[in-house]
Amino acid sequence: MERTILLNNGIKLPPIGFGTYKTAESDGAAVILDAVKAGYRFFDTASLYETERALGEAVKRSGVARHEFIIETKLWIDEMGYREAKEACERSLKRLGLDYIDLYLIHWPRPSSEGEEWRELDRETWRAMESLLKEGKVRGIGCSNFLPHHLRNLVEEGGTVPAVDQLEMHPGYSQEAAAEYCRSQGIVPLAWSPLGRGRANSIGCEEYIKQLAEKYGKSAAQIYIRFLVQKGIVPCVKASSYEHMKANLNVFDFELTEDELSVISCMPQTAWLGEHPDFAIPTKRSNFEQ
């Protein structure tokens, strides 16, 4: 993909990424190699996903130069804290088999829904990530599932502004307030679950998306992806078939109108996964769905 988005740290990010969550359930490296063949160069993983090894293997086997990839991974809530974050990064580097990580993210803003202790824990973790940045272990640092008040807790410290914030975003849950705050701070929003779960299951919304798909000769999924891309949000898509991988990238030969963007943005909330970072705190790795 020739189009790129310039992050606040100078990294050029492809406009569409490939998510590796649950690829470990199949032949993860083979799936990722298909994605590389399809044209993806930005790959998202996490210590939680248990796909770092498969991604690292695929990068090595791809025949594509390392510098052409953007590799993003994340530390989990049981890896937060200064020392813990530094050690977590070393483990991720080892599993990936890489010398550096392009984007290293805090996966979840708080380990508990009780109290305000998360504020200092986040800042302490962030200081570790800034240290990793200076050491050259990572090229950029960011957040995942951070809402404006979580981000302000870091930004107001006066240190490094996160390069990205990865959130659940899709028609029916476009998180306009969070996306706007990110833009105001020079943070690029990324979208996980860009197609939602069950998609826009309101009858009127579903019919509207179908009408747009027919108008542009695209699938509903391509309309969803184009919506995010046009709003400056980088979707991290998932697909198991090569055909779907290619189709998810084929969204640059049409443009939604301003009115169409507005209608989609104002759809009633639907297809939300139900995981709010302040109230639905995962108690263990196995009960987290992303």
Residues carrying an active site annotation: 49
Q: In one letter, which amino acid is 283? A: T
How buried is 127 (Cβ within 10 angstroms: 0-12 exposed, 13-18 middle, 19+ buried)? middle
Terminal-to-terminal C-alpha distance of the chain = 25
Cβ atoms of 48 and 74 within 8 Å: the answer is: yes
Q: Is residue 170 annotated as involved in ligand binding?
A: no
**Residue 103 in contact with residue 12, Cβ under 8 Å?**
no
- The DSSP annotation for the chain comes to ----EE-TTS-EE-SSEEE-TTGGGS-HHHHHHHHHHHT--EEE--GGGT-HHHHHHHHHHS-S-GGG-EEEEEE-GGG-SHHHHHHHHHHHHHHHT-S-EEEEEES-S-S-SSSSHHHHHHHHHHHHHHHHHHHTSEEEEEEES--HHHHHHHHTTTSPPPSEEEEE-BTTB--HHHHHHHHHTTPEEEEESTT-SS-S-SHHHHHHHHHHHHHHT--HHHHHHHHHHHTT-EEEE--SSHHHHHHHH--SS----HHHHHHHHTPPS-S-----TTT---SSGGG---
Instruction: Estimate to the nearest angstrom the gap between the alpha carbon of 62 and the chain centroid.
Output: 22
Annotated binding site: 107
Annotated binding site for substrate: 107
